[in-house]
Amino acid sequence: MDAAGYAVAMLFEPTGVGGVFVVSPERITDERGFFARTWCQDEFQAHGLNRALAQCNISYNPSKGTLRGMHYQTAPYEEVKLVRCTAGAIYDVAIDLRPTSPTFGAHAAAVLSADNRSMLYIPEGCAHGFLTLTDGTEVFYQMSARFEPLAARGVRFDDPAFGIRWPGPVQVISQRDRGYPDVDL
């Protein structure tokens, strides 16, 4: 219950990749608009998810067709990401890179937008990236660990091993993200 006595919750929808969830706020609506929870340690813990929060970041992307990813950090600096689009829309993707996972090599994707206010929970050991679907897109990240530049790695967004079907052409991408090698699953 919130201070006004409303039962406020978050909705956790599993994807086809182990540990990756689409998290949506449950809206409490009245004449003022709505109120919704976007973070709750207790609810994340109740779903068996990492509830640590060490760092928050934003990325602003002026152009539709901007691709960022597919990024991850190596042990012992692996991180959970909770990703939300606060302006515009993105096609958000997580790839399971955990060799012992039953979904190793699989990916999950969701459209995140300022309108749907959904988030993607990405566990440790998964690569993350997105393609902007509109101009003027801003993405908000909550992470369980601080970024460690020496542990930063990536896989290529169009590596045939993952079979990701991006919903539009890539117009803007960094040389680093374009240059990751193919992986051998």
Q: Which one of the listed residues 60, 71, 107, 121 is annotated catalytic?
A: 71
Asked whether the predicted pLDDT for residue 3 surpasses 70, the reply is no
Catalytic annotation on 71? yes
Q: What average pLDDT does this structure show over 152-174?
A: 97
pLDDT tier at 184 (50, 70, 90 boundaries)? confident
Asked whether the predicted pLDDT for residue 4 surpasses 60, the reply is no
Q: Are strands 55-61 and 81-87 parallel, antiparallel or unpaired?
A: unpaired
Q: Which one of the listed residues 72, 91, 121, 141 is annotated catalytic?
A: 141
Bridge partners of residue 121, in order along the sequence: 21, 82
Residue 66, token pair as written in the block: 């901007």
* pLDDT value at residue 7: 65
Asked whether the predicted pLDDT for residue 133 surpasses 70, the reply is yes
Q: Are strands 152-154 and 67-73 parallel, antiparallel or unpaired?
A: antiparallel
> What share of the chain has pLDDT > 70, as a percent?
96
* pLDDT value at residue 181: 86
Distance of CA 133 to the CA centre of its chain: 15
The DSSP code for 66 is B
Q: What average pLDDT does this structure show over 144-163?
A: 96
Where do the domains of the chain lie, and which CATH numbers do they carry? Answer: 52-156 (2.60.120.10)
Catalytic annotation on 107? no
Asked whether the predicted pLDDT for residue 1 surpasses 80, the reply is no
Residue 106, token pair as written in the block: 């699989």
